[in-house]
Amino acid sequence: MCGILAVLGCADDSQAKRVRVLELSRRLRHRGPDWSGLFHHGDCYLAHQRLAIIDPASGDQPLYNEDQSIAVTVNGEIYNHEELRAQLSNHKFRTGSDCEVIAHLYEEHGEDFIDMLDGVFSFVLHDSNDNSFIAARDAIGVTPLYIGWGLDGSVWISSEMKGLNDDCEHFEQFPPGHIYSSKQGGLKRWYNPVWFAESIPSTPFDPLVLRKAFENAVIKRLMTDVPFGVLLSGGLDSSLVASVTARHLTGTKAAKQWGSQLHSFCVGLQGSPDLKAAKEVSEYLGTVHHEFHFTVQDGIDAIEDVIYHVETYDVTTIRASTPMFLMSRKIKSLGVKMVLSGEGSDEIFGGYLYFHKAPNKEEFHRETCHKIKALHQYDCLRANKATSAWGIEVRVPFLDKAFINVAMSIDPECKMIKPDLERIEKWVLRKAFDDEENPYLPKHILYRQKEQFSDGVGYSWIDGLKAHAAQHVTDKMMLNAEHIYPHNTPNTKEAYYYRMIFERFFPQNSARLTVPGGPSVACSTAKAIEWDAQWSKNLDPSGRAALGVHLSAYDPQESITFAAGKGSAKINNKKSRMGDRAAPELTVSS
């Protein structure tokens, strides 16, 4: 993924302003360490920090049309760019970049071309003919994007908050599936799928249709001119991504360039559930497996860097981002620049353990809709920014537009968890890849219980974070929390600790408003907490908070939150199937 920054309609077009734009753009260089570019026309600037994945030799940005009257700076990948090029036979392309089609599509269709793009993207396009501009973000928000406004009437667009927070009077997240047009004077939704209305679908479940849609989503994401691999936790989602990738890699352009043996990567505390499962899946698929170990102290030491890069104080996002951040650094050191990952499946199929308590298919389906719509604030934000911190691009096939359309059209009755019928969470996905003749995965992996990433890396990771926060946040501080942080008031010492760090990096009110809030159990929305009365007494985003569901759930009689008046810190007592041992240092085995 690249980094983009645009300053549009600013009152100052001096050399000093150019220098300032370049200075702010450098804050995004971690996202694109391969090249930098700047376009300046009148009162508009488009800056770009490039991570070269497609056409590394000539695809530097900004990109232009034939006479350079249209300039565009893009963060993303357009998977159908070759088909689009074929439709633009009367246009002359300067590079092999997949993103160059955007400038030519605008020439051909004006602003009404966004839905033609199959991929993930954030971009700003400037038209010198009338000094107008548009900005757009992909359907789900896989790529991050922020919009801000200056006191001089300027509009700012940036891949990350740190690119504009110091120079804007107000800024916010640019909503996914929207386009901003200077001609129209505001935001308009371009992504309007059937499922967005949250009406209950009735299409019968067809395993082969779902399987084919996912395979197509993976195959199109094998488009790369650089070394790549897969993130493999050993859970269902990442294992399916790895299995389908390994099955279809041979014969692709990527295989001809980099070899047909897939590389896989996993991170965890020594002895963690994910490490064991990932190794088994790797051996089954025949991948070149790289296992990274970290200690609780390694993770704690990285927390400030993680919050700076991921730009959130959300507890579950920080818990999960930290191991991913550490792993990404190791992956980059091996020369890999792109990875495939399994984000999005739990939202689409109701994979979080709290879905066991969904009262009916209507509420089940609405919850999945709400979860998908919020992905840009949680898992998409984590996956993109934790990897981009080290100049790595992550691709998420479960969030392919066509695949989502297929998956969200299935009658939610088929997605419901039904123990009496031996249907666990994500049963339809498991069933779609349960092929007796040509198995994709071993049965026990295909039917492994959901494990949230922040839990799967080792249960003592979260326990260690809580204990560390309790050493730095006192009961007295918690008593005043609502006065110090009236918006999204932290209700645990862990949350308070993260908030202090966030506010130091991003002190603006606009910054704190970009982070979602509200009660959650096992990553639920606030509404879903109503599904089980005891959950409201144990509000923790860990999957182990799904009491009565997770096989290693917290003991409800011993679960202690670090809230005001709760006394000194105490680690949650858990009934764990696996011991957790701290690794002596960050190590790598391949």
The pair of three-digit structure tokens given for residue 114, joined into one six-digit string = 């966004």
164 is in an annotated binding site: no
Please give the single-letter amino acid code of residue 113: F
Taking residue 43's Cβ as centre, other Cβ atoms within 10 Å add up to 17
> DSSP string covering 485-508, please?
--SS---SHHHHHHHHHHHHH--S
341 is in an annotated binding site: yes
Cβ(422)–Cβ(415) below 8 Å: no
Query: Do residues 453 and 233 touch, judged by C-beta distance below 8 A?
Result: yes
Distances in whole angstroms, Cα of residue 333 to Cα of each of 138, 327, 328, 329, 336: 29, 10, 9, 6, 7
For 521-543, letters b (16+ CB in 10 Å) and e give: bbbbbeebbebbeebeebbbbbb
Asked if the peptide bond before residue 490 counts as cis, ω within 30 degrees of 0, the response is no
Instruction: Determine the 3-state secondary structure of 266 from DSSP.
Output: strand
Distance in angstroms (rounded) separating the CA atoms of residues 86 and 94: 15
Task: Tell me which H or E stretch contains 269.
Answer: none
Element (H, E) at 72: strand 70-78
Interatomic CA distance for residues 521 and 548, integer angstroms:
13
Q: Annotated catalytic, 2?
A: yes
Is 455 annotated to bind a ligand? Reply is no
Q: Any known ligand binding at 267? A: yes
Three-class secondary structure of residue 231 per DSSP: strand
What is the DSSP pairing of strand 393-395 with strand 587-589?
Answer: unpaired
575, 555 contact by CB (below 8 A): yes
Q: Is 420 annotated as a binding residue?
A: no
Give the SS3 label for residue 199: coil
Token digits of residue 105: 């599509």
Catalytic residue among 2, 44, 266, 380: 2
d(C-alpha 320, C-alpha 119), whole Å: 25
Alpha carbons 278 and 285: distance in angstroms, whole number: 10
The DSSP result for 141-192, as a single string, is --S--EEEE-TTS-EEEESSGGGTTTT-SEEEEPPTTEEEETTTTEEEE---
Q: Which helix (DSSP H) or strand (DSSP E) does residue 298 occupy?
A: helix 296-310
| DSSP track, 6-55 | EEES-S--SHHHHHHHHHHHHTTGGG--SEEEEEEETTEEEEEEE---S-
**Residues annotated as catalytic (active site), given as ranges:** 2
Q: Which residues are annotated as a binding site for ATP?
A: 231, 267, 341-342
Q: Which residues are annotated as a binding site for L-glutamine?
A: 98
Q: Which residues are annotated as a binding site?
A: 98, 231, 267, 341-342
